[in-house]
């Protein structure tokens, strides 16, 4: 079997659960923008969503584990989660320098979207426990990181060599900016208070305002608060780590995948 087919398999049901969970998570991020209420209405943080989001993630983890993660793959998942948690503890987002994403991207690339989704969840959860970073932001961090790993697993499988490293580096840049943007979106509607009419320069969310107006305001808010600094440094970190360490790490992960993933060839042997 070639290296291109060594991704952890996903059943149709597991893929459907992944899709539904991603859709539910996206709705939990964008729901304030879809509200149609009088301007100036107070919008409170979605405490119910903060409870439901971990439940959704747990359902996905259980489904994917049942569908394609055998004990050997689970062992690799545990090791990578611990390494990622340690890497994040050693580089706790200082000025945007974070080493957690490049390994997440490479592992998602080798083991596939289901494994990447699970690794994103477990890595961020483990690192939060190590760094006392548990809070209302954690479910969103787990979800968005899971999307980063899943997206890497959905990249074209035929790419190899320099083309693969270049594609992963570009993806690392896109993932860095999307992570920052989505994490901003999870808190922006509740962070700056209620919009005050007459203050045109306000960057606050305006409940009930046209979607385009709120998106423009959010774009300015994200650009000023994270895109030009934290997110850009995170993107640069991803590119440097993927270009410098990517070939070696990919080779190591692919050797591990060939030893861990079981094919149907063993079961095909006749019983003597």
pLDDT per residue as tens digits for the range 54-68 = 666 666 666 666 655
Tell me what the mean pLDDT of segment 157-167 comes to: 91
| CA–CA separation, 224 and 146 (whole Å) | 26
pLDDT at residue 231 greater than cutoff 70: yes
Tell me what the mean pLDDT of segment 240-264 comes to: 82
Give the model's pLDDT for residue 41: 54
Least confident of 68-72, 90-94, 168-172, 253-257: 90-94
Q: Determine phi and psi for 94, rounding to 5 degrees.
A: -65, 110
Angstrom distances, CA of residue 58 to CA of 17, 55, 99, 136: 11, 5, 25, 16
Residue written as token pair 């994403």: 101
| CA–CA separation, 264 and 220 (whole Å) | 53
Q: Which residues contact 265 (CB under 8 A, 6 or more apart)?
A: none
Give the model's pLDDT for residue 270: 43
pTM of this prediction exceeds 0.85: no
Domains in the chain: ranges and CATH: 3-260 (1.10.1760.20)
Residue written as token pair 């997206």: 151
pLDDT at residue 2 greater than cutoff 50: no
Specify whether the CB–CB gap between 118 and 110 falls below 8 A: no
Report the 10 Å Cβ neighbour count for 109. Answer: 30
Q: What is the CA radius of gyration of the chain?
A: 20
Tell me what the mean pLDDT of segment 264-270 comes to: 40
């Amino acid at each position: 079997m070639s290296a291109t087919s060594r991704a952890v398999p996903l059943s149709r049901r597991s893929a459907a659960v992944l899709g539904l969970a991603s859709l539910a998570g996206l709705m939990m991020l964008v729901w304030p923008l879809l509200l149609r209420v009088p301007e100036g209405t107070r919008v409170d943080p979605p405490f119910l969503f903060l409870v439901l989001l971990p439940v959704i993630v747990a359902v996905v983890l259980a489904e994917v584990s049942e569908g394609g993660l055998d004990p050997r793959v689970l062992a690799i998942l545990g090791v990578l989660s611990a390494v990622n948690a340690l890497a994040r503890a050693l580089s706790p987002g200082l000025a945007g320098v974070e080493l957690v994403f490049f390994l997440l991207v490479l592992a998602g690339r080798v083991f596939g979207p289901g494994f990447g989704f699970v690794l994103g969840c477990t890595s961020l959860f483990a690192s939060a426990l190590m760094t006392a970073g548990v809070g209302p932001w954690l479910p969103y961090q787990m979800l968005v990181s899971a999307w980063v790993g899943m997206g890497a697993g959905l990249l074209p499988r035929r790419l190899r060599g320099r083309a693969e490293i270049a594609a992963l580096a570009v993806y690392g840049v896109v993932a860095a900016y999307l992570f920052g943007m989505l994490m901003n979106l999870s808190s922006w509607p509740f962070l700056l208070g209620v919009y005050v009419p007459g203050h045109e320069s306000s960057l606050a969310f305006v409940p009930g305002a046209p979607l385009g107006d709120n998106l423009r305001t959010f774009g300015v808010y994200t650009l000023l608060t994270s895109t030009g600094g934290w997110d850009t440094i995170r993107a640069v970190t991803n590119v440097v780590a993927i270009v410098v360490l990517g070939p070696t790490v990919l080779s190591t992960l692919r050797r591990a995948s060939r030893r861990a993933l079981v094919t149907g060839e063993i079961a095909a042997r006749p019983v003597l």
